[in-house]
Amino acid sequence: MAGKSTNDKSGERIAKVIARAGLASRRTAEAWIAAGRVAVNGAVIASPALNVSSRDRITVDGEPLPGRARTRLFLYHKPRGLLTTHADPQGRDTIFRALPKRLPRLISVGRLDINTEGLLLLTNDGGLARVLELPATGWLRRYRVRALGRVTQEALDGLRKGVTIAGVRYGPIEATLDREQGANVWLTFAIREGKNREVRKVLEQLGLKVNRLIRLSYGPFELGTLDEGAVAEVETAELRKTLGPEIAEQANTDFTGPLDDERNMTRPSGARPKGRKPGIHDRGRRDRGETGVPDSGPRAGARNRNDRKPKRRRRADRSGGPRPKYPRPKS
């Protein structure tokens, strides 16, 4: 006889637990629940308004929920032309289709619109993503901006107290005029809220039309020299130290659990092969200046593992032919 599902107020919402297990986002988990695919203690549930604890047995499509994976964070250099979403009804390219297949299931910390490039944080922990997105966290997000038009530093200084546009209030903004280049200006723009298209809307109010937008940093994490399209993981010890105990507790992170591919889950195609050091993925080569991104940042400056020097060809012998594998017999 199927056991009854509990509603432990001290536990966590069922959709949140499914998301933490790395199977799906909370929204997708709620859709699974509505479709009758989730059971708790043998009883199919129909509503996500249910709290569960570690004592409850959760299954999805009859399969037990895998244990929670270790909290992980990745730095991704998002190229222009990709949507920050798992699926697009119009069939446009998304960042999650472009990511290496060996990575675990990830969600983004906030979004970058299709024409914005630069640093995007990715994590396997929905709780961490939500905390880092909160304006209350107050992490500064720096951008490098190229815009058509002219502006004075005095006008940019006026943004320090915030601005209201079309009834929307934007918080304090730090903006610096770096240089003029033809009909364009280059700016450094720093915000803490990250509202929808905030940089573009604020600069449009000043008569500027943004034609290139690159996010350089998100809080303490920097784009640095990470190559376009490349991914680098923040090591667990560094992540724990950087987040600090307050954010870690608020997000209910887990830095001691197994990695995603150590939980008896099917290894995805192209996953990290055995013997390769975990925690480093496709470090970027040094930017040569053509992107306008400064070559700084402690996290993304290592050489890409895929960019190894080609193997040297066999040294030719004196006759000009290839060097033999074994010594020539004496005549």
Q: DSSP characters for 4-34? A: PPP--TTSEEHHHHHHHTTSS-HHHHHHHHH
Q: Which two tokens stand for residue 308?
A: 């190894």
- Alpha-helical segments (H) within the chain: 14-20, 26-34, 95-98, 126-133, 153-157, 198-205, 236-251
Which of 88, 93, 113, 307 is labelled catalytic?
Answer: 113
Helix, strand, or coil (residue 59): strand
Is 71 in contact with 125 (CB distance < 8 Å)?
yes
Q: For this structure, is 61 an active site residue?
A: no
Write out the DSSP string of 290-312. Answer: TTS--S--SSS-SPPTT-PPPPP
Contacts of 179-187 with CB under 8 Å at 24 or more apart are 180/150, 181/146, 183/148, 183/149, 184/146, 184/147, 184/148, 184/149, 184/211, 185/146, 185/147, 185/149, 185/150, 185/151, 186/144, 186/145, 186/146, 186/292, 187/144, 187/145, 187/146, 187/147, 187/151, 187/156
The catalytic residues are 113
